[in-house]
Amino acid sequence: MHHFGRLLTALTSFLLILALGQAPAMAASLSGTHAWSTDPLSLRNGPGTAYDLTGEIAAKMEIKVLRCQKLWCLVDGHGGRGWTYKRHISFGKSPTRWPGGVNPDYPAGGPGSVCFYQGTNYTGSALCVSSGRVIPDLALLGLDNSFSSVRIDGNVSAAACRDRFFQSYCERIIASQPVLDQYLHRNLTSVRVY
């Protein structure tokens, strides 16, 4: 009975913390876009300076971006979860500032096609597109975050990005990849084929 009393006290304390909105911060979500803090990130409980501070993430730390608005992103990392100013986030492979987006002026290729496969090693369902095709949001086709490999056939290439409208981390793909780069594997959202 003594153990039951301690368990009940611990459970009551935990529920009280949750009720007060002071739950321990979750760190390093499994989902979300991989990114880095370029500067210390002040975390807030909403997207703006009018919201209360909830924590801080140090500079040059790996984080997960859970979602973004125009100027603010909801992030998770060592230091907590909260909203922070988007300009202090790098979506590249390292914490150095990265301009993002893709160059729209690559020369068009062809003939040929780029096929994105749901499985590794070019297996599973595929989406094949030719030069000139632009898909700014794969979610509209029900294919967001579903591709694992890409095959290039002919004189074509592709710009592939983690977020819709060619934002966040992007990569120019010029050769077939049996397994997409770790930042794009099952995280592909927008595609432009050249």
pLDDT tens digits along 141-152: 999 899 999 999
Does the structure show a pLDDT above 90 at 122?
yes
Q: What are 50-83's pLDDT values in tens digits?
A: 999 999 999 999 998 888 888 899 999 999 999 9
What the chain holds in terms of domains, given with CATH numbers, is: 23-90 (2.30.30.40), 112-193 (2.60.20.10)
User: How far is residue 45's CA from residue 55's CA, in Å, rounded to a whole number?
Assistant: 9
The rounded mean pLDDT for the chain is 80
Q: Is 73 exposed, middle or buried (0-12, 13-18, 19+ CB in 10 A)?
A: buried
Structure tokens at 90: 């790098």
Q: Which residue has the tokens 């084929």?
A: 193
Structure tokens at 168: 């966040």
Q: State percent of the chain over pLDDT 90.
A: 43
For the chain, strand residue ranges (E) read 33-37, 41-44, 53-57, 62-68, 72-77, 80-85, 89-90, 112-119, 123-130, 134-135, 149-154, 158-163, 167-173, 190-193
Does the structure show a pLDDT above 50 at 24?
no
Would you state the pLDDT for residue 31?
64
